[in-house]
Amino acid sequence: MAKKSTTEKAKKKAAGAAKSGVDTVRDIAGQAIRAAAVAAAGVALTRTAQALRGGARSAEAAAPKPESLPRPAAKRAKTGAKARKAAARPAKKKKAARRRSSR
């Protein structure tokens, strides 16, 4: 009978050790999964930020510079015979002439 009780004790100790080992492994696996999720989120956020910065740079590069913009037509001075002729006409004739030339 002594053998039976010793064997039973050994089984119980082995089962207890296995249970605590399983709990430890489960905790470690959970921590590893959390760490992997945090790392993956960090990589995703970093890549997204880089892509957004790259898009902003390309948009800035595509935007026209202030010195390369065309000058407004109102600032250009009219010169020559056409300018003097246009200044001498009444307003209605000027509008009609503009309509004809824009077609």
Question: Do 72 and 64 form a contact (C-beta atoms < 8 A)?
Answer: no
Q: Give CA angle at 93 (72, 74), nearest 5°.
A: 10
Average pLDDT, the chain: 75
| Cα–Cα distances in angstroms (integers) from residue 102 to residues 74, 96, 99, in the given order | 17, 10, 5
For residue 13, being part of any structural domain is answered with yes
For residue 57, being part of any structural domain is answered with yes
Q: Residues 40-80: pLDDT tens digits?
A: 999 999 989 888 888 777 777 777 677 766 666 655 555 56
Alpha-carbon gap, residue 32 to 29, rounded angstroms: 5
For residue 27, being part of any structural domain is answered with yes
For residue 79, being part of any structural domain is answered with no
For residue 71, being part of any structural domain is answered with no
For residue 78, being part of any structural domain is answered with no
| Cα–Cα distances in angstroms (integers) from residue 90 to residues 38, 84, 98, 102, in the given order | 76, 12, 13, 19
More reliable by pLDDT, 91 or 27: 27
Q: How confident is the model at residue 84, as a pLDDT?
A: 62
* Domain residue limits at 54: 2-64
Question: How many domains are contained in the chain?
Answer: 1
Model's pTM, two decimal places? 0.40
